[in-house]
Structure 1
Amino acid sequence: MKTTALFLALATATSPALAQDAAQAPWNRSVPASHLDRVYAAEQFSNTVSVTDPIDGKLLGVIRLGDPQPANFSPLYKGQVLVHGLGFSPDGKTLAVVSIGSNSVTFIDTATNSVKHTTYVGRSPHEAFFTPDGKEVWVTVRGEDYISVLDPATYEETARLKTPGGPGMTIFSPDGKYGYVCSSFNPELVVFDVASHSIVGRVAQPSSFCPNIAATPDGKQVWYTLKDIGKTVVIDAKAPFATLKVIETGPITNHVNFARTAKGLFAYVTVGGLGEVQVFRTDNYEKVATIPVGRLPHGVWPSGDGRRIFVGLENDDGLAIIDTVTNRLVGTVPIGQAPQAIGYVANAVPQGDGLQNLQPLGVSGQTTKLALGMGGKAVTSVTLFDQGLIQILQASVTGLMPKHPYQLVLAANADGTGEVEPLANFTTNPAGSAIVNATGPIRQVVQADAPSSRRWLAIREGTANAPGMLVQVQQP
């Protein structure tokens, strides 16, 4: 479903907006949505940041930070690789974009879409967020065991804050007192006193893979997601930071964020393996809505006035828009490849059309979508992201046994039989799901006209040394 200029019409109507708290974390301003606002998405296979007008529901263009494969394999390559994380400054003038593969934080001017500076940090950073006073940028260096603190004026690293190995993301309390850091490799969340840079709290995570964390705008709760076991956890935002609730949300639970409507304050959780956003009350944790949005929803962010929720669809190359009054999908905007983090910046372009330095999607807008399953029931979504002569394959695998070895393969016959060529080995997480990647001229093979060269995607149990039975095959 494509959006039209009507889908945000209510945001500019004369009726009063359903405003967010002034302290919406972090710092969405409580103003009606306008053409001055922008929605940004960090896209890891096209190495772009897409820029969307939230009123028209229109992609204005992309900020190209890197090249597709195989150009980015060159030893002389200077661009960014795996554009993934996205934060923004309290004044809305600067984006901080994290590229995992090139270990970088790129600072972008929102008014002109121009790169102001790129800072290189430690191995595999994940997310970068400004402190509420705008004086520091905290970068979780997930491939190591620390937060890299950057000065946003000089772009230099000023400190390293030791954490449990694999810090996943930092979010700050609305008053700027605390920084909450969940872990992607260890089952422990730590809380920092921002002023002193010291750890003042430790909270046990039910599992070790937290990709995302968010603070409620009233400063009372912190919600974080656990991608490996498909759960969302709520803790008290104040010491001793007690765990308040563990919610079963589903396989590949990705991100969480909040919006306030006339009915209260609600949490929106993206559940990638189910292709949906689940909506919960923050007072009694009741699930009030389940919203189908598309394939592998990932990042999520509210508009400044709380009327809309924007969701990145990782395997649909789309930006889904949810009306928070009705909790219905009202549109989807085509954007770049495999969107990850999402950010909504109110008044990002205070004057002018904001089109400077934007480029068209080009080849980044080309994808092929497939599905795997059994008996006509599709449970695994597969997207082939075009990189020119080759594609990056990403499969959002669900419906398998937990913690079990499997192979993604190319089979000679449509039912998965015949000669088999392994593409990737993987082990499912405790929820029986996995994200599986491969690279090659796969589209040409699975869509070949000649029967002799045509192959079909499938999943089988076991490993190359001990292959097992087929469990999922490519569906018509």
Structure 2
Amino acid sequence: MRTNLKILALLASTMIAPVAAFAGQAPGLASDPDIPISHKDRVYAAEQFSNTVSVSDPVDNKLLGVIKLGDPQPGNLSPLYKGQVLVHGMGFSPDHKTLAIVSIGSNSVTFIDTATNAVKHTTYVGRSPHEAFFTPDGKEVWVTVRGEDYISVIDAATFEEKTRIKVAPGPGMQIFSPDGKYGYICSSFNPDVAVVTVADHQIVGHVKQASPFCPNIAASADGKQVWFTLKDVGKTQVFNAEAPFDLIKTIDTGPITNHVNLVVNKNGSFAYVTVGGLNEVKVYRTDNFEQVATIPVGNLPHGIWPSGDGTRVYVGLENADQFAAIDTLTNKVIANIPIGQAPQAVAYVPNAVPEGDGMQNLVPLGGAGDAAHLKLAAKGDKDEKPSTSVTLFNQGLTQVLQAAVAGLDPKKPYVLALSEKRDGSGQLQGLAAFMTNPAGSAIVNAVGPIRQIVEAKHKDEKRYLVVATSADGKPGEIVQVQAE
């Protein structure tokens, strides 16, 4: 009789909540049950230079393969009729069955079946979309069209755009309150977070950002807080998730502050923030905002997402082509997983593959895992403490160079250059001019056969990467030199 009562109670609870959103972790409800890590779960990353989505098993911390959405360079330099370019953003449905992958260069949202890794549909939206996410009821997908001034609202059943929500130019990302009442939309071009009602798409509130450039936003599972990052000034801000949406806290997190996510475990509730310029993840309590940990993770941490039980977070290392798996109870890195080139957004989806091995439509990592890594340090630094990480992503005969520059004066012009000598003396050949942000950092890109030059075996052919001040577009004083 007691067993029957237990079965009836279990059935009743299932009827009340047929689909658990996310185990008490954002973006679900705090009341959702835990979902222990299993072989049915998957960890995904959107990879910008290989144009792939990597698929990993969190039990073994093993890459299973990648979903190829497009070609690397130079294939994507010709007229593009098929395939996606700059695979970047990622969202997922509340039933765990669908990924929404945003490709900035091809203005698209690709919908992928999590069980089979098959592309269901591709929807094309406006100029340079950035992130996409499903509403908590699973009926709509909101896409921030960062190159314009609106949110593209897509019908999740038909994959067609149904309406647009007008906002300030440059919307960065949106996330929703766990109860599905509000959407919170931060901006990458204007210092303004817009709060929008999901039911009727009306703007009902604003939060002033400390700077214009917000790439990422997260809402707590208890429905009380919203956290967002400011990449240009190296800060993270927190505001009240309910009206009047007042600002609660501003935290100095560090240069190239990328993404934030929220974790609940037996130790409490915490915010995990990726700080690309320091190659660290910083951990803060959400009750008193005390920093409780600093976790070294590797080159340029970007996207971050918790497991379904909050015992781990997975961090995409943009300039290391890896996942770093962090145990949230010890705040230590417990594994590194090789993945595709320049991972951006990350998602952890419990029970993504309810049946079978989930290996369909996956291809090996192959050349997407081929990259070289360098470091630059301030000139004259005897300890050669790295302040800039550089990755050369292999694209065949050429490489995409990406430098996560930090440790410079804010809002000043500089140039990344090749030097005849390691100390920067001799003739310089400019690769890319750039302006540092208010935190004295920048993300700098260039394309060419650079790996062959910096790794040349013959001394008269070898060149070294340096950073120099810039005057009238020409290199000036050397401030950083190649450390290794």
TM-score bracket relative to the smaller structure: over 0.9
Counterpart residue number, 2:355: 351
Partner of 2:393: 385
- Contact persistence 2:430–2:475 (CA under 8 A): no
- Among candidates 20, 24, 27, match of residue 25 of structure 1: 27
Whole-angstrom distance in 2 between the partners of 1:372 and 1:112 = 42
Aligned counterpart in structure 2 of residue 448 of structure 1, from 443, 451, 456:
456
Q: Which amino acid aligns with 1:366?
A: D
Compute the displacement of 1:68 (Å).
0.5
Superposed counterparts of 1:206-225, under 5 Å: 206-225=210-229
Deviations 1:118-142 (A, max 9, x none): 0000000000000000000000000
Helix, strand or coil for the counterpart of 2:277?
A: helix
Percent of pairs with identical residues:
67
Q: Aligned in 2, Cα 1:24/1:378: closer, same or farther, shift over 3 Å?
A: closer
Distance 2:466 2:25 in 1: 48
The 5 Å alignment of 1:192-211 reads 192-211=196-215
SS in 1 for 2:249: strand
Q: How far has the Cα of 1:24 moved from its partner?
A: 3.3
Determine the structure 1 residue equivalent to 2:94: 90
Give CA-to-partner distance per residue, 1:308-367, whole Å, 9 cap, x none.
010000000000011011111111101000000000001000000000000001110000
**Letter aligned with residue 444 of structure 2:** V
Flag the 1:294–1:449 CA change in 2: closer, same or farther, 3 A.
same
Residue 244, structure 1, aligned to residue 252, structure 2: no
Q: Is the alpha carbon distance of 1:86 and 1:205 closer, same or farther for their aligned partners in structure 2, counting shifts above 3 Å? A: same
How big is the shift at 1:75? 1.1
- Output the amino acid matched with 1:442: I
1:307 aligns with 2:306: no
Structure 1 residue aligned with 2:435? 427
**What displacement does 1:29 show?**
6.3
Residue type at the aligned position of 1:383:
T
Q: Is the 8 A contact 2:433 2:473 kept in 1?
A: no
Structure 2 distance, partners of 1:464, 1:389, is 32
Distance in 2 (alpha carbons) for counterparts of 1:289 and 1:223: 18
Contact 2:25/2:264 (8 A) holds in 1: no
Match of 2:413 among 405, 410, 413: 405
Summarize deviations over 1:216-256 as a string: whole Å, max 9, x none: 00000000000000000000000010000000000000001
Deviation, structure 1 residue 387: 0.6
Shift of 1:181: 0.2
Output the aligned Cα RMSD.
1.3
Alpha-carbon distance, 1:152 to partner = 1.3
Partner of 2:231: 227
Using the alignment, how far apart are the partners of 1:467 and 1:23 within structure 2?
49
CA distance in 2, matches of 1:327, 1:361: 29
2:58 maps to: 54
- Contact 1:20 1:259 (8 Å CA) reproduced: no
CA distance in 1, matches of 2:168, 2:26: 28
- Structure 2 residue identity aligned to 1:25: P
Gaps (5+ residues) in structure 2?
1-20
Q: What count of residue pairs does the alignment treat as equivalent? A: 458
Contact 1:201 1:241 in 2 (8 A): yes
The TM-score, its normalising length taken from structure 2, stands at: 0.93
Distance change >3 Å, CA 184–CA 454, structure 1 → 2: same
Q: Return closer, same or farther for 1:386/1:23 CA change in 2, 3 Å cut-off.
A: closer
Secondary structure of the residue aligned to 1:72 is: helix
Q: Could you tell me which residue of structure 1 aligns to residue 18 of structure 2?
A: none
CA-CA distance at 1:77 after TM superposition: 4.1
Aligned to 1:371: 375
Q: Summarize the Cα distance change of 1:29–1:145 in structure 2 as closer, same or farther, 3 Å threshold.
A: farther
For 1:340, what is the secondary structure of its paired residue?
strand
- The 3 A distance-change label for structure 1 pair 77 and 412 is farther
Work out whether residues 140 and 148 of structure 1, in 8 Å CA contact, stay in contact via their aligned partners in 2: yes
Shift of 1:31: 1.1
Q: Distance in 2 between matches of 1:472 and 1:37?
A: 43
Matches within 5 A, 1:453-472: 453-463=461-471, 465-472=473-480
Per the TM alignment, residue 463 of structure 1 is displaced from its structure 2 partner at its CA by: 4.1
Quick check: 1:408–1:423 contact (8 Å CA) kept in 2? yes
Q: 2:44 aligns with which of 29, 40, 44?
A: 40
Whole-angstrom CA distance in 1 between matches of 2:471 and 2:374: 23
Please state how far the C-alpha of 1:377 moved relative to its aligned partner.
2.4
Using the TM superposition, give the Cα deviation of residue 258 of structure 1 relative to its aligned residue in structure 2, in angstroms: 1.2
Return 375-384 or 307-316, whichever deviates more.
375-384
Q: 8 Å contact 1:407–1:463 — kept in the other structure?
A: no
Structure 1 segment 101-180 matched on structure 2, within 5 A: 101-180=105-184
8 Å CA contact 1:29–1:346 kept in 2: the answer is no
**Matched position secondary structure for 1:452:** coil
- Asked whether the 8 Å contact 2:125–2:152 carries over to 1, the reply is yes
| Cα distance, 1:465 vs structure 2 | 3.8
- The whole-number CA distance in structure 1 between the counterparts of 2:301 and 2:328 is 17
